[in-house]
Chain A
Amino acid sequence: MSVEVLTILMFIALMASIALGHPLAVTLAAVATVFGLIDNGFDVSALLGLFANNAWGIFLNYTLVAIPLFIFMAQILDRSKVSEGLFDALYQVLGGLRGGLGMAVIVVSTVFAATTGIIGASVVAMGLMAGPALLRRGYNRGLGAGIICASGTLGILIPPSIMLVVYGGLTGQKETSVGNLFAAAIMPGLLLSALYLLYVGVRCYINPEMGPPIPKEDRTATVAEKVAMTMKNFVPPFGLILTVMGTILAGIATPTEAAALGCIGALILAMATRKLDWDVISQSCIATARTTAMIMALFVGGKFFSVVFLSMGGGDVVADVLLGMDVSPYVVFIIMMAVVFVMGMFIDWAAILLVVVPIFTPIALDLDFNPLWFAMMVCINLQTSFLTPPFGYALFYFKGVAPPEYTMGDVYRGIIPFVAIQVIGLATLIFFPEIITWLPGVFFGN
């Protein structure tokens, strides 16, 4: 069989077997095993020996140690309920504006995006907390759902973020080290958050029924009270983020070390809010172990898949097709982005990252794209994948916890403008790549 046929067959086999509903990590490894055997003439011990060595390599990957640590930090923070305090405060501060409550949700999500790093947690927390509140205040249900889902997914992008750790651990390149990726993701994350705020503000200003201000009699807090409430709830989590990000960006600590310090910080914060007991620690440990195992299993399965795919020459096949088209590099870039976008409608971010990045990165380098910029574009695209129907996981998480008044139709309708904002954000970053490359240059030089 020729390489081209094998490449196409391998992808078809992957897509077909993924639909069977078996854990993705195992499916990836199974497809890799079958095609690896076909490619090497059914030498079982050579292929599986190679796989075992790769599994050992992942076992020793120091960068990935940050994954369980950041997850544990998020679990503790989630259970210490600091986000609720901040939401209550901003509810008073912004509630008087048209769309103010929606903006409060976006601000809280942005701050906690920096602490969670996994999207399930942020969307679930905001859905439980803000879902009923927005409904009670007469917000348009689609708009409310869109706000919570879109801003909740910022958690996967705004550092510290598990996705960026996985990306850095996967490439192992200096340009796309976890520190560089963290620095690069700050501005795009804030840009998207600002675009959401702008959209909600303008939309509700023009059409107040979409997001009415809270009634006068509910606005009881004085200015001094508002400031005090906000500071009290804003400073602790923000201080934690500054500690974690600051030590990484200043080059004092590796992301792994900063994550461990963040865990200690989160424990102290939870102790301060009197939410810390053995049960919280135990629950956090269990949730951390399960989520880490899920991501690491995908890492192992994805690694097997890309090892086989690249060694049988599949990477060259894709590169020949994309580079042989004799078009502008940006057309190739947009095709690659479209592939990630479409895959994102169906598959989990980690699987896309682990399958696609090893194939696309050499092509992007061949076309002289800045690797850090390219990485960030892929990551924003993957964040969008949480929002795109039919299988946007953020939408399902939200539907799972929000009051039943939010129908799936509301959620699908409400998310469309935010997906459009994502595309606008991506386009902005194509025309102004400095938004991505500026901060890494400031902190690490280039």
Chain B
Amino acid sequence: MQKIGSAIDTFNEKFGFYASYLVLPLIMVVVWEVIMRYGFNAPTSWAFELTVFLYGAHYSFALAYAHKHNTHVAIDVFEARLSERPRTILRIITNVVLFLPTIGLLAYYVCVLAANSWQQWEHASSSWAPPIYPVKTLMAFGFVLFFLQGVAKLIQDIRSLKASPDYQLPLENKDQ
């Protein structure tokens, strides 16, 4: 169990780290389009769609990474007043009741959305007409990773609950 948890953690850390560099090509594509349109009066047919695809992949891939680092905003004022053990129990409960069913269902149905797109061999109805199925697959992949990070957190919390009561969870700083 623990092995699965730390495997998910390691993968999401690495993947999120490298995926965060997607903002750089995103900047390039947008600037390229501006240069072509104003500098050469030759707007591209592909920049607009490539821009949204890059942005979509960028944030989808970061969902799990942000969850791993506790960056998703939460009203933790009440939770913070609890001592370590009840807090871990509360985290396990909210994870099982709120996160896993909701994000699990969502991840599954986003996969269904992607699968349907493959079946129809879906392309965008624009002049560039890029294929949509790989892009929907990227989004589905992001949501699946997000779900898996929730599973990893559950495993981690259960482990720390079993460990000695004074075991301290490494808390990450929130940054915005």
Contact = CB atoms under 8 A, between A and B. Distances in A.
A261 B72 contact: no
Contact of B19 (A26, A69, A289, A351): A289
Given A263-B27, A285-B20, A51 B106 contact: yes
A366 B24 CA distance: 43
B33 A257 contact: yes
B105 A285 contact: no
B79 to A, nearest CB: 3
Contact of A285 (B23, B38, B95, B98): B23
What is the interface residue range for chain A against chain B? Answer: 35 or more
A74 to B, nearest CB: 10
Interface string B102-143: 110110111011000000000000000000000110010001
Contact of B55 (A22, A68, A120, A390): A68
A19 B63 contact: no
A348 B77 CA distance: 13
Interface string B47-89: 0100110011011111101110101111111111000000000
Contacts of B136: 56
Contacts, number: 192
Interface of A is mostly: helix
Interface stretch (A81-89, A211-219, A292-300, A320-328): A292-300
Contacts of A62: 48, 51-52
B155 interface: no
Contact of B23 (A21, A56, A72): A72
Given A60-B52, A264-B27, A290 B79 contact: no
A29 B106 contact: yes
Q: Range of interface residues on chain B?
A: 35 or more
A252 B38 contact: yes
B137 to A, nearest CB: 12
Nearest to B79: A21
Contacts of B175: 120, 287, 290-291
Contacts of A20: 78-79, 90, 94, 98
B5 to A, nearest CB: 19
Contact of A120 (B97, B108, B176): B176
B31 interface: yes
A381 B105 CA distance: 35
Given A260-B30, A286-B17, A68 B75 contact: no
B75 A290 contact: no
Interface in A288-338: 288-294, 296-298
Contacts of A286: 17, 20
Interface of B: 16-17, 19-24, 26-27, 30-31, 33-34, 38, 48, 51-52, 55-56, 58-63, 65-67, 69, 71-80, 90-91, 94-95, 97-99, 101-103, 105-106, 108-110, 112-113, 135-136, 139, 143, 175-176
Interface of A: 17-27, 29-30, 33, 44-45, 48-49, 51-53, 55-56, 59-62, 64-65, 68-69, 72, 118, 120-121, 252-253, 256-257, 259-261, 263-264, 281-282, 285-294, 296-298, 346-348, 350-351, 390-391
